[in-house]
Structure 1
Amino acid sequence: MSVLILLVVAYLLGSIPFALVSSRLFGLQDPRTYGSGNPGATNVLRSGNKAAAALTLIGDCVKGWIVVWVAMRLGFTVAEAALAGFAAFLGHVFTIFLRFNGGKGVATALGVLAGIDWRLALASLCAWFVVALVSRYSSAASLASAALSPIVGYVLFGADPVIAVLLAMSAVLIWRHTGNIQRLLAGTEGKLGGKKG
């Protein structure tokens, strides 16, 4: 399989909108119609259905992980597998199935990190939980994780091509949270556990 085919398949897999899939399975509203309007696990949680949110989280995470895992099993280099993971991440953020307006990519990015190296995922997950517990803001926790992953990657791998993928993914994550950053600064950001509005 060529790298180009790998990237196309990875993008299409990443484009599957599990927030909509889980919402339909549980008979919920389209998550784009309430809360932040973001088709992701945090917004599905605002519906009050924890099972649907959990299914969204797992689905979004697994699609990032499995792309990297399969790529490595097919004999691609770690850098190529990481690039495939980035393609899946972009598929989630710019999904072709929702007119290129997808989620923010936090769970999918975590799956990509887990596929590259479990220590990357663990460090990012720990950062997310610590910031979320202290601040009660999912967005702040996600921003902290995004900022940390390239640093941990550099510690683990040094000046490796994988770091470029981590930096690119972090940049997109932070950019996708521009509105959240503005609301955090204004004190109007919704906290974890808030209901849909």
Structure 2
Amino acid sequence: MTDTLPTYALWLIGSMAFLGYVLGSVPFGLLLTNFAGAGDLRKIGSGNIGATNVLRTGRKDLAAATLLLDAAKGTLAVVTAWVMTPPDFSDRAAAVAALAAVVGHCYPIFLGFRGGKGVATGLGVMLALSPLTGLAGCAIWLGMAKLTRISSAGALSAFVAMPFICFALNGFSLQSSPKPLATVLICLLVLARHHENISRLLRGVEPRIGDGKR
């Protein structure tokens, strides 16, 4: 990695950050439930716009579609950054776009900066940014969610583990690749967005998968 980037590179990276944020801001869960007549997702269950809360509408198909689309928008942001920027700084652009996409999902401009918790989008960006890290994160998430029947337990486990996995795959020096640092920042954001879930887990009152509307 070079220490200094030319001005045009900074503009391109900034453009990829903007694109990533806009893509991340698209609230697929809210759009799908509204179009399907399942009600305003913000008034159901936890009020979150993610797939777990969509499941509380009783529509498994909508929840699955939300999960896939939220992940896909993250993947698209990273892939676009790689395609649209020269190889000598495409990794940096992709890392910035990945973080921006998760920020967009958590704080979407289209919903007054009140969004989701970034799990599906975070996994989507990781599958593109560091495929092995993303696949490991998905496996941990699914395994823990199945074991505990608590979606947040699976998500928290995955996002705690992924920075370590990414560092192991890309080297433990932050100078060797932008991917580990981006992974750390993404995971910290997702964990911060789960502070209420962490509190409920510690108190043993976190809802389980399959619970209906609250």
TM above 0.5 = yes
Give per-residue Cα distances to partners, 1:112-160, cap 9 Å, x unaligned: 0011122111100110111111111100110001101111101110123
Conserved? CA contact 2:26–2:108, under 8 Å:
yes
SS in 2 for 1:27: coil
Residue of structure 1 in register with 2:210 after alignment: 193
Q: CA deviation at 1:79?
A: 2.6
Look up the equivalent residue of 1:169 and give its one-letter code: I
Residue of structure 1 in register with 2:76 after alignment: 66
CA distance in 1, matches of 2:184, 2:25: 21
CA distance in 1, matches of 2:201, 2:14: 39
Look up the equivalent residue of 2:61 and give its one-letter code: A
Q: CA deviation at 1:71?
A: 1.0
Report runs of 4+ in structure 1 exceeding 4 Å deviation: none
Show the 5 A alignment for 1:65-84.
65-76=75-86, 77-84=90-97
Q: CA deviation at 1:192?
A: 0.6
Residue of structure 2 in register with 1:182 after alignment: 199
Residue of structure 2 in register with 1:119 after alignment: 132
Identity of aligned residues (%): 39
SS in 2 for 1:191: coil
SS in 2 for 1:2: helix
Residue of structure 2 in register with 1:39 after alignment: 49
SS in 1 for 2:122: helix
Q: CA deviation at 1:75?
A: 2.8
Q: CA deviation at 1:6?
A: 1.4
Residue of structure 2 in register with 1:28 after alignment: 38
Look up the equivalent residue of 2:102 and give its one-letter code: F
Give per-residue Cα distances to partners, 1:51-82, cap 9 Å, x unaligned: 11111111100000011111111235223202
For the aligned residue pairs, the C-alpha RMSD in angstroms reads 1.1
CA distance in 2, matches of 1:48, 1:58: 17
CA distance in 2, matches of 1:168, 1:3: 17
1:108 aligns with 2:121: yes
1:164 aligns with 2:181: yes
Q: CA deviation at 1:25?
A: 2.1
Conserved? CA contact 2:13–2:92, under 8 Å:
no
Residue of structure 2 in register with 1:52 after alignment: 62
Q: Which has the larger radius of gyration?
A: 2
CA distance in 2, matches of 1:4, 1:135: 41
Structure 2 gaps of 5+ residues are 1-10
Count of residues in Structure 1 that have an aligned counterpart in Structure 2: 197
CA distance in 2, matches of 1:4, 1:70: 13
SS in 1 for 2:46: coil
Give per-residue Cα distances to partners, 1:78-122, cap 9 Å, x unaligned: 232021011011000000111101000000001100111221111
Show the 5 A alignment for 1:4-23.
4-23=14-33
TM-score, normalised by the number of residues in structure 2: 0.89
